[in-house]
Amino acid sequence: MNPKDILEKYKNGEIDLTEALEHFPDRGIEEMGFATIDTDRQRRTGLPEVIYASGKTVEQVKMIAERMHQNGINVLATRVTQEMADAVKTVIPDAEYNELAKTVSYRRTGEIESRGYIAIVAAGTSDMPVAEEAAVTARFLGNRVETIYDVGVAGIHRLFNKLEIIRNARVIIVVAGMEGALTSVVGGLVHKPVIGVPTSIGYGANFQGLSALLAMLNSCASGVSVVNIDNGFGAACQASLINQL
């Protein structure tokens, strides 16, 4: 039966709404009024629907997470507050809150799906919130992750002490604020894809991450790509797609 005939039958009262909808394929959309969940995103793109919590109310975040959970979708929310995380845990008790990363997540399976691992390298301890967002996201997406923190150019010998771990990764995320130089340094030492994440950490001339962003975009190291300022989530998504090729 073609869609036109189905709609005609519904219009004439020959079938009810439930029966009419059964003839249509799942559109991959879960309507909530204030939000529309993309339930087909994982199959279509290889990356699941994720909640960006900033700007949403506590109740909205909780309701979206609950609906995703009911639909069998693994739940990850970024930029969450403690209050939001507490609300999500009332409907998903096993959800995990990472205070540093500002994420709350629930993954039905703990199995790691990738063979290689993603190395996440942070220049300074102050860059760790962004690096942790990347780490939580990458693990949520089924990747093994190795984190190497506080190895910036102000003490470059610290990086060389961890170079073997970095070089053995399939893809490397480099998180750096200030002048953002660490991304170019790592890019010149490895033969793997490097994803730079500029952070808003730094004094005034850092311009809330703009200096680091421009430095990474102007990197003379080959094989370096760059995501937006403080976008650990985006870097992890790109790294996951590369790692799981």
- Over the chain (245 residues), the average pLDDT of each successive run of 10 is 72 80 64 81 86 94 91 92 95 94 87 80 95 96 94 90 94 94 94 96 92 94 94 96 91
Using the Cα atoms of residue 39, residue 40, residue 42 and residue 45 in order, give the sign of their dihedral.
negative
Task: Report the interhelical angle of 128-140 vs 232-243 (nearest 10°).
Answer: 40
Predicted pLDDT of residue 13: 85
Do the Cβ atoms of 150 and 122 come closer than 8 Å? yes
Predicted pLDDT of residue 110: 58
Rg of the chain in Å (alpha carbons)? 22
Fold of domain 117-243 = Rossmann fold (3.40.50)
What residues does each domain of the chain span?
27-106, 117-243
Predicted pLDDT of residue 114: 63
Predicted pLDDT of residue 29: 73
Predicted pLDDT of residue 27: 63
Question: pTM for this structure?
Answer: 0.83
Tokens of 131: 């690096």
Terminal-to-terminal C-alpha distance of the chain: 40
d(CA 23, CA 14): 14
Do the Cβ atoms of 105 and 135 come closer than 8 Å? no
Do the Cβ atoms of 101 and 132 come closer than 8 Å? yes
